[in-house]
Every structure is written in structure tokens, then in C-alpha cells.
Amino acid sequence: MRGRAVAATAALVVSTLAWVAPPLAAQQQCAPPADKVNQAAGWSLQRLAPERVWGFSRGESTVVAVVGTGVSAASPALAGAVRPGQNLAGAGSADNDCSGRDTFIAGVAAARPMPGTGFTGIAPGAQILPIRVTNDASEVDPGRLAAGIRQAADSGARVIAVTVGTPVAAPDLRAAVTYALSHDALVVAAADADAGQDGVPYPAGFPEALAVAGIDEQGSPTKSAVRPSLVAPGKNVVGIGPAGAGHLIASAGGIGVGFVAGAAALVRDYHRDLSPAEVRHRLESTADHPSTALPDPQRGFGVVNPHAAATTVLPAESGEQAMPVQAPNVQLPPIPVVDPLPGTVALVVAIAASAAALIGPIAAALIRRARKRGWRSAWNAPDS
């Protein structure tokens, strides 16, 4: 009976990833270890193919802050990658995660390869800095969230993945995003409907943040409460748990943030002199664009493309000059069309007349001589 209860709990976590940490009085009901190994990489990694860029960058020089409920350093796939971080929601460090929610998202961004499975993070060399701002993803204080973003920027994170949101568009929260940008940190935030509970999720709702929503295997966007800048896999995604060497398969808002944060880590490692605005431009301009006008209301600039984001040569960065504006077309007067036939006929007639004038006297002389010989051949004519 106990085994069935544990299995049921695991199934709930796997199927929904509504990873809300339980109340403090019931912290013993944490997510069970992920023990089942998924040998396949999953459709999300097949779709994004981050391994194509690992010859150039694995994100080694980049620190990715995960602002939310904490990240577990006990997960084998993140061994040695998780820093102690900061806990703004209570005592202790932030490198533990009861619900497993942010550990899953951090693994999507930076999980290390493990034997027996094809799953890995987008930037498997990046470091994770957990910033806990809440113990319950459904209850987020705007002021504490703002403080978490500032703390992440002050701690040296160059990419800040905000996995939770609030429906309150607090001025200090927007100021925190601006503060992070001014301290060389790109803020990537969840735009999915459940990230902000019943309203627009902030900071994703601020234009300064790079808002990310999810897509399914067919590329259809999941429900988003704000127009996203980019989309990334967010349904039936393979990931890791807070403990155990196995995997979970989850669907929920915020997962796409991990993919985009990982791609941003690759870009920041490979192009270390780019500003956050230039990194964002790279991610948006190299995405797999939808066939509609950009940005699309549901897909933004399209599906993030880690390889293209890191390796594409952009004219604005390479010093190439933009193509000059073409001068207006000069309207020349029309050239009259002349029919050459009459001239040709006249020339032929003139040549024929000249030839007749030249040949006529010769022919007349020859005829007179032939008559004198009685029309006999000149070879047989008697000597005169």
C-alpha cells in the first residue's frame, strides 16, 4: 500500500510538474527521488540539438542564477555545478529543493551528461546559482522577488532565469530587472499562464525581461498570459529530480525558461564581450521563426536555436556595413526601334547594280569575239 502511494505521488509530479512546495508544516512530503533512468534524450533535445554547438562552447564561463524555490545540489546530474546561493525566504542555503521544480528547470539548462542516458542540459558546463525567494511557487512576494533578482546580479550571474512570477507589476520589481541589465545580466522569465497564477506574470510582463513560453512536440504553443519573445519545449520534457540518478517527464510553465537560459549561457560563454541586449538580439534573430509577422502573438520570434544563437555571424557584430539605400532609377528616353530590312534591301540592290555595271561590258566584248569565231571555241580557232 505504501509503495502504491509513493508511485501515485511520483506520477503526479511527473505528469503535471505543478511543483509547489508543500506548507512548512508538511515539508516531509517532498518529491520522491527520480530512480527510473530514461535512456532517450527526449524530443526536446532532438528538436534543439545543443550538441552541435558544444565544440565551440559548453557554457563553462557562465553562471546561471535560478530565482525561485531553490535548486538541489544532491542531484547527481548537477554534482559540482550548484553553488550554495542565497535563501531570501528563510534560514539556510538555497541548494536544496523539496518540490523539485527548480531542480528540473536547472537541469534543463545545465545538467551534466550521465552514463546510460542521452539526456543532458543545453549548457552542460554552466554553473547554477540558486536564489530562493519563496517556498511555494504559487505565493510569490514581489518585493522578495525583486530582491532575488538584484542578489543574482550582484553575485555575478550573467543569466538570470526567473522561474516564478507574480501578478503584481511592482515598480521595484521592474527596477530590479533594469538593475540586472545594467550589471551585465540577462533576465529570462516565464511567460506561461501558471507562472503568474491568475494574471500577467511579472517580471515576464515587463519589456526589459526576455519572456519565454512553452511549445509541445508538434510546435503548438502552450497557454501564455503575455506575448513571449521566444518559445521552447514545455510539454512532456525529460528532466532530473532533486535526488536520484533517474529522470522525470514533466509538463508545466517555466520549463522553457531553462532551455533559453541554457542557450543564453552558451552565447555568453562564446561571445564574452556582448551586452545583455546583444545576447537577447542574438537569441531572437537566430530563432526558428514562425511563418507569420514577427513577433508572433503566441510564439514571439520563434523557437530558440542554441547552435544558431552561438555560431551565426551577425553583420551588426562583425563590423559589416549595411547595404546602402539604392539610388532612384533614372528614367532614360526610349530608344527608337529601326527596322533594318529596308536598308538591307537597298544595299543588296546597290551591290547587284554595281556588279551588273562591271560585268556588262566584259560580257558584251566576249560575245562579239565569239561571233567573229563563228561561235567556235577559242582553243580550236585558226590563227588569224
Report residue 315's pLDDT band, with 50, 70 and 90 as the boundaries.
confident
Rounded distance between C-alpha atoms, residue 167 and residue 187, angstroms? 17
Q: Which residues contact 37 (CB under 8 A, 6 or more apart)?
A: 116, 117, 245, 246, 247
**pLDDT greater at residue 279 or residue 361:** 279
Burial status of residue 361 (CB atoms within 10 A of its CB: 0-12, 13-18, 19 or more): exposed
- Cα angle, residue 90 at apex, residues 85 and 91 outer, rounded to 5°: 70
Please state the pTM of the whole predicted model: 0.77
Q: Which of 228, 236, 237, 234 has the alpha carbon at shortest distance from 209?
A: 228
pLDDT at residue number 326: 47
pLDDT at residue number 370: 60
pLDDT at residue number 199: 74
To the nearest whole number, what is the mean pLDDT of the chain? Answer: 84
User: Could you report the per-residue pLDDT of 134-172, keeping only the tens digit for each?
Assistant: 999 889 999 999 999 999 999 999 999 999 999 999 999
Rounded distance between C-alpha atoms, residue 166 and residue 160, angstroms? 16
What is the average per-residue pLDDT within 375-383?
54
| Residue 282 reports pLDDT greater than 80 | yes
User: Could you report the per-residue pLDDT of 187-238, keeping only the tens digit for each?
Assistant: 999 997 565 456 789 999 999 999 999 999 999 998 887 899 999 999 999 9
3-class state of residue 251 by DSSP: coil
Q: What is the separation of C-alpha 360 from the centre of its chain, rounded to a whole number of angstroms?
A: 89
3-class state of residue 235 by DSSP: coil
